[in-house]
Structure 1
């Protein structure tokens, strides 16, 4: 599940009203930025909803998690390249280029005759979508006055909540009608409209006074190592041999560690100083973000489990799955107004709720815990929302803590790294989810028995990363003098 990330906001910046954001030129600019995130977010929920129908039509259940893995890996590259693209092309042309790549990927997915073509399309989609999402947040600082930044961040982040309404509806209706390809085709006219809006409202005259990022270097070696880390884990998961799977995980983690080691001595940094040391407050916060995002990647298998085990329609399964994103969005918006000790308590409670909700899903999804179908589904929805809410309630405060802990002169690096760490957590989580599900019997023996075993092991295993984040949250808040 993708999620909101914030640009570099100073805690001292005063906040303007919502009417200031929606009045005159600001309103059109807000629509131009939110449209990009909305398109990316709706696509995520569309694909989550239609993927069971896709594998029934063109095959590739073994590769189920790869649709998300490759999408997020490509998004990492897109997010990192967005800084250079913005500096070279400017706001308008950068957004239009990202939309063009996203549209190309959507067209490839729509016409995919087999799973390799689908995975190729998802990779192209991820490159464009990751760039588009990162640009939307980066442009907040360029097109708006500082007083509008907090409202603009909340608005852009809220698009994930809107996506929980639109994405499952589009994907579910087309999947139930047996036309899942049209779910991808519908993205093309939306991308065209967004491109027209960007062309009209992000004209150079509107942004020439803003500080467009310089043509900074790209931490290419670190990014390549992170991408290789995810791919090695995913490849290991394709094997049925436990030894090969274990070797894939070990090699993947080693490559991730190599990326951190390289970053420590690189001239162009991916992470700010101190972020690669877990004992530092900054490193603990980044680690918490990655661990919480790993827990949410169980979402990619939920529609399949609900359709196979509970007999839900694609539309119903899609909306129930979207409860996780809805819980994230709502809790993030509600908790963003909390400060001081209350904010610290939310930061500690969030990982606890996330881990507890995942353990509840390990019981509810495989067999409904012996409850009537309606009660079991209602509890599944509550648990899914709990996973998202557990991340969302502490998210604004983790981001704020990062920006206040960033060393002088490295705030921009710290802000950009939020997206990279978030996407890496999602990518490694998706790769691990595919490994766990396949090893637990998703494809062999397959069917209902395989899905039950896979659901139990997947949710139970993925409760561990948020559990580790509980310890980190206590360390982070204790460093601030909160008992």
Structure 2
């Protein structure tokens, strides 16, 4: 690992946007942008459609399951993608993942029960986790370090378009047709991506080492992760305190066993020093985990709260629900030109502090019924991600050793998904404990949802301490 976590990034001041269109970079940039765009659009479409699917099919208590199992699929796929790519190559991996995505979208759109929707979402998660991890691999494989900030800026623009267009499109389609159409609209987009994957990548594009163990799926370790997440989800199905505490304990034991076994594996999922408190990579990965974990309640309950507390329709609720993503993307685009290590440290610290304040503001706004306060807090939370997220990702990638960079590239979106999945399960536990149900009054729903955001605020205080530790570590290495 280099002693300076950002040895050559400072030279990115000299990197022009036009360089991304140079021969050999155009096709990878298009693939990365389309893959991330497909993931982003579907995320916003689903967040808008699911509360209205619940209104037709019932099962409000299954909302955390829909989010967490979707993200569990993303985790399983993302953790297996480095080996899968090494075995089959980039093009075949993308083709197979897109076919699974098309199947999952079809099943969710045609489902007659919430169980069918959840299974379709699980398949979508499997496919999107693989596509997202492969796109991150394309970034670290094809683009020099001095262009990475520009690439992340382009992807932020993709998220900005998706953040605005996804909810608006979902709201319009849901109001004009039904929530089912919001899932089925993924099919033509997926077919376009499938065609581009076939046309732009070679049949053996970027195969890695096919030696012993390459391409294998770490089934035992992934089982531990899945077991832990399911245990957290299952706490929502019992009213017995002893059972809940036992399930939470089993979940965290499973996560610790995963990390222990992975360190001893010849084909680890985690890069060296992952979650160490003495290295920039380890501390950075903690932030990649905790920032989405603390904000995960938004994806589960925000549109539902807007619908039931403020009596909003699909279009209005989806537009307000998108404020976080829109502000994230717009701030990320404007901060993409930041190239110095010292400036990036400032972005990380400021972003972590802003998310903490934003989550506390969301909890207060919902509990007091203040829509303007809620909108302001949502914008603040999104801006926090826009400031910090690309800087954290770039710092982790550059600080990783050459042999770990592929694992780090695949781990970043996978860990983000794990954070959202774990956060959704924990938010569901907190909300259900506070009285959330499909038959609860609007006042109870508001207080329950506010409690889930207050939980995120409390955990973000830990992230603040970690961010300060990261700043000290980076200064010590300079």
Question: Under a length normalisation based on structure 1, what TM-score does the superposition of the two structures give?
Answer: 0.89
Q: State the distance in 1 between where 2:199 and 2:252 align.
A: 45
* 8 Å contact from structure 1 (residues 66, 431) kept in 2: yes
Aligned in 2, Cα 1:143/1:275: closer, same or farther, shift over 3 Å? Answer: closer
Structure 1 match to 2:323:
323
Against the structure 1 CA distance between its residues 342 and 17, is the aligned structure 2 distance closer, same or farther, given a 3 Å change threshold? closer
Give the conservation status (yes or no) of the 8 Å contact 2:81–2:134.
yes
1:446-477: per-residue Cα shift (whole Å, max 9, x none)? 13132122122111111022111100111111
Distance 1:181 1:444 in 2: 20
Q: Distance in 2 between matches of 1:181 and 1:75?
A: 22
User: Are residue 268 (structure 1) and residue 267 (structure 2) matched?
Assistant: yes
**Any stretches of 5+ residues in structure 1 without a counterpart?**
1-7, 369-375
* 1:369-388 alignment, distance < 5 Å: 376-388=370-382
CA distance in 1, matches of 2:438, 2:108: 27
Conserved? CA contact 1:365–1:455, under 8 Å: yes
Task: Tell me, in whole angstroms, the C-alpha distance in 2 between the residues paired with 1:148 and 1:278.
Answer: 29
**DSSP-derived class of the 2:162 partner:** helix
Query: How far did 1:442 drift?
Result: 1.1
CA deviations 1:206-245 (Å, max 9, x no partner) are: x75xx43224354443322122211110111222333322
Residues 148 and 481 of structure 1, relative CA distance in 2, 3 Å threshold: closer
Equivalent in the alignment of 1:4: none
Which stretch shifts more, 410-419 or 424-433?
410-419
Deviation at 1:141, TM superposition (A): 4.4
Are the aligned partners of 1:234 and 1:248 in contact in 2 as well (CA < 8 Å)?
A: no
Relative contact order, CA 8 A, sep 6+: which one is greater?
2
Structure 2 CA distance for partners of 1:90 and 1:405, relative to 1, 3 Å: closer
3-state SS in 2 of match to 1:418: helix
Asked whether 1:474 is paired with 2:468, we answer yes
> How many Å apart are 1:279 and its aligned residue?
4.5
1:174 aligns to 2:192 (yes or no): no
Q: Do the aligned partners of residues 392 and 221 (structure 1) sit closer, same or farther apart at CA in structure 2, a change above 3 Å counting?
A: farther
Q: Distance in 2 between matches of 1:362 and 1:276?
A: 29
Residues 1:365 and 1:257: Cα distance change in structure 2 (over 3 Å)? same
C-alpha displacement of 1:327: 2.3
CA RMSD in angstroms comes to 2.5
Contact 2:366–2:447, Cα closer than 8 Å, also in 1: no
Q: Distance in 2 between matches of 1:355 and 1:321?
A: 18
In the TM superposition, what whole-angstrom CA distance separates every residue of 1:249-285 from its partner, at most 9, and x where no partner exists? 2221111111111122222212222224334443222
Q: CA deviation at 1:381?
A: 1.9
Moved more, 195-204 or 94-103: 195-204
Of 461-470 and 16-25, deviating more is 16-25
Gaps of 5+ in 2: 1-5
Residue aligning to 2:3 = none
User: Matched residues in 2 for 1:9 and 1:320: separation?
Assistant: 41
Corresponding pairs, count: 465
- 460, 476, 480: which one aligns with 2:454: 460
